Structure formats: C-alpha cells, structure tokens
Amino acid sequence: MSRRFTTWLGPLAAALLLLPGSATVAAARTPEILAFGDSLTAGLGLPAGDAFPAQLEARLKSQGLDVRVVNAGSSGDTTTDGLTRLDWALADRPELVILELGANDALRGIDPTIIRANLDQMIDKIQASGAKLLLAGMQAPTNWGRDYQRDFDRIYPELAKAHGVALYPFFLDGVAMVPQLNQPDGLHPNKRGVTALVERIAPYVNRLMGERS
C-alpha cells in the first residue's frame, strides 16, 4: 500500500466513524429514560417544558447526569391502555423506565386484580427489554370503600417485591391534596407541584442510573 494511499485513507476512516449507525455513534448515545404513564406524566394542562419529564431531565442534568427523558405519557390511560402501547414505547431501548400508571384505574373503580395483572405484564416486558425499572406507586381514593382501597394500595409494593424492582411508593407524595401545588381540578400538579415531585423522585432515578451496567 503506497504512502499516498494510506495518507488519504486516514481522513476517510475517521469520517466513516462519524457516519450514522457507526459503532462510535452508538457508543456515544445519550442514555434514555422513558417516563411512561398517564396525564400525570404527560403534563396535562402544562406547557411541555413544565411537565414531569422535562423538569426531571433538567434536574438530572443540573446534577451532572447527561440523560434524555422521553415523555411517553398519555392522558386518560389506564393500565390496560398502557399495556397495549408499551412494546412500541420500548422500541428505542431506554436504559430506565419510570412506570406511572393506575390513577385512572382507581378513579374508575377498575377491579384491582385486572390492574395487578396489567402491571405485572408490563414489568415483565420492561425487564425483558433489559431496562431498569422504577415503579411509581399510586393510592386509591376512599370513595370505593376500604376493601377496594386496601386491595389497590397493596398492588405496587407486592409487585415490586415479587419482581425485585425499585419502588417509589406514591408518585404524588407531598403534592396530592395540597391546593397550591395543583391545578384547579385538584388532581393534576401545577408547575410548582411537578417541581416538588421531581425533587423527591430524582434521587431514586440518580441511584438507578448509577447502577446500570
């Protein structure tokens, strides 16, 4: 091989390494966190930049964690709805999934056995994808009675234990029923409320991202 050819080949090889789909580009991919949930994740009533995924990404980056948080929230989703669209959402192979579903099920009084089965299948799918999981728990309203409340509230800790996944016990912790942290409907956090959620959940996310292999 002539010296002229090898001199020309050097820049060409470097350029090829920068082409889309190259191993170098793949290795440099920004870690992705999939925020998968309902309107609480989607940010119903808020500008996109004030929604939970955007605020969480900003908080993590301010703490030195270079990540991309994808907003895969869909307003009105139940666990049944989430199960039907999860495979598509996992197609980009995120490093971590925050699974936040069940609030709409509880508001509608859906049988806790159905909710448990749906979440169980979603956890299986997420684990099979290779992603880490943070399961965000919910709490049932009191209007369906004590038996319903008991059966619903035990779903999240029991599934987390059975699957060996991290649990954030209550997604709306510190925000639910606090008027100044919610929109006029009393159900969806306002910008300040989302900020409060992020402050509480970010340490869990940081820890899980630090544990990824």
Domain of 193, CATH number, reads 3.40.50.1110
Do 16 and 56 fall into the same domain? no
Residue range(s) defining the domain that contains residue 16: 1-30
pLDDT in tens, 74-102: 999 999 999 999 999 999 999 999 999 99
Do 17 and 92 fall into the same domain? no
Do 166 and 89 fall into the same domain? yes
Q: Give catalytic residue positions.
A: 39, 185, 188
Do 43 and 126 fall into the same domain? yes
> What mean pLDDT comes out for the span 53-57?
98
pTM of the model: 0.86
Do 46 and 10 fall into the same domain? no
How many distinct structural domains can be found in the chain?
2
Separation CA 123–CA 47 (nearest Å):
30
Residues 6 or more apart whose CB falls under 8 angstroms from that of 57 comprise 33, 67, 68, 69
